[in-house]
C-alpha cells in the first residue's frame, strides 16, 4: 500500500493524453490499490490516474453509503468510456482533489451508461446510472480527456477562481 502525491491544478500532467491500458497484470493491480489508498487518504470519492501523475486510462470511485461510509461501493474502471448521456443537464456542486480548497457548480447529465474493463481485462458495463455516481463518472472520465471541472466554468468564474486559487496554493505551501 502506498499513498501517492496528488497532482495539483494547473499542472500540465492533467492535460496530457492518457493511454489505453492493454496489460492486466500485478503492476496494474498495485497501481489501482495505490489510487484507492490515495483517494481515501484525501477523503475523495473518485480519482483518475493522471491525478497521481500516471497518464493512463484508469479511474477509481467509491460513493459513500447512506451512513456516509465508504468501502461498499468500490469501483475500479479500466479504459472507461461513457456510451450514453441522458436527460436535461442538472447543476452539480463539485470539488476535485487536484483543485484543493475550491468548489463550484457545473452542469452534468443526470443519467449515463459506461463501458469499462475490470482488473482482469473483462468487459463490464454500468447502464442508466443516476445520482452521485453518474456525476462522478462524468467528472473522472473528463480527467482522462484532460479536462478538469473548472474548465467548465464561465470565464468570469474562472478568473475569480484563479485569483482565489493563487492564495489557496500559497496557504497550502505554508502549511507544509
Q: Which residues bind Zn ion (CB under 5 A)?
A: 96
Nearer to Zn ion, 96 or 114 (CB): 96
Q: Hey, is 150 helix, strand or coil?
A: helix
Nearer to Zn ion, 121 or 132 (CB): 132
| Cβ at position 143, least distance to Zn ion in Å | 6
Pick the catalytic residue: 12, 69, 86, 140?
140
Nearer to Zn ion, 13 or 121 (CB): 13
For residues 97 and 39, the answer to whether their CB atoms sit within 8 Å is yes
For the question of residue 140 being annotated catalytic, the response is yes
Burial class of residue 93 (count of CB atoms within 10 Å of its CB; 0-12, 13-18, 19+): exposed
| Cβ at position 100, least distance to Zn ion in Å | 11
The secondary structure of residue 21, as a DSSP letter, is P
| Cβ at position 85, least distance to Zn ion in Å | 18
Pairing of the two strands 99-108 and 123-130: unpaired
Tell me the residue nearest to Zn ion as measured from the CB. Answer: 96
The Cα 93–Cα 5 span in angstroms is 25
- Catalytic positions: 140
Amino acid at each position: 500500500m502506498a499513498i501517492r502525491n496528488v497532482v495539483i491544478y494547473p499542472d500540465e500532467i492533467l492535460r496530457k493524453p492518457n493511454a489505453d491500458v492493454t496489460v492486466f497484470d500485478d503492476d496494474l493491480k498495485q497501481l489501482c490499490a495505490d489510487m484507492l489508498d490515495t483517494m481515501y487518504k484525501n477523503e475523495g470519492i473518485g480519482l483518475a490516474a493522471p491525478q497521481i501523475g500516471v497518464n493512463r486510462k484508469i479511474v477509481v470511485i467509491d460513493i459513500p453509503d447512506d451512513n456516509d461510509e465508504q468501502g461498499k461501493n468500490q469501483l475500479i474502471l479500466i479504459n472507461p468510456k461513457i456510451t450514453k448521456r441522458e436527460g436535461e443537464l442538472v447543476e452539480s456542486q463539485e470539488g476535485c482533489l487536484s483543485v484543493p480548497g475550491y468548489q463550484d457548480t457545473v452542469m452534468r447529465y443526470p443519467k449515463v451508461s459506461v463501458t469499462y474493463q475490470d482488473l482482469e481485462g473483462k468487459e463490464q458495463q454500468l447502464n442508466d446510472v443516476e445520482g452521485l455516481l453518474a456525476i462522478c463518472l462524468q467528472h473522472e472520465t473528463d480527467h482522462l480527456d484532460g479536462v478538469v471541472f473548472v474548465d467548465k466554468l464561465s470565464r468570469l468564474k474562472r478568473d475569480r477562481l484563479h485569483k482565489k486559487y493563487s492564495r489557496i496554493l500559497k496557504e497550502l505551501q505554508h502549511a507544509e
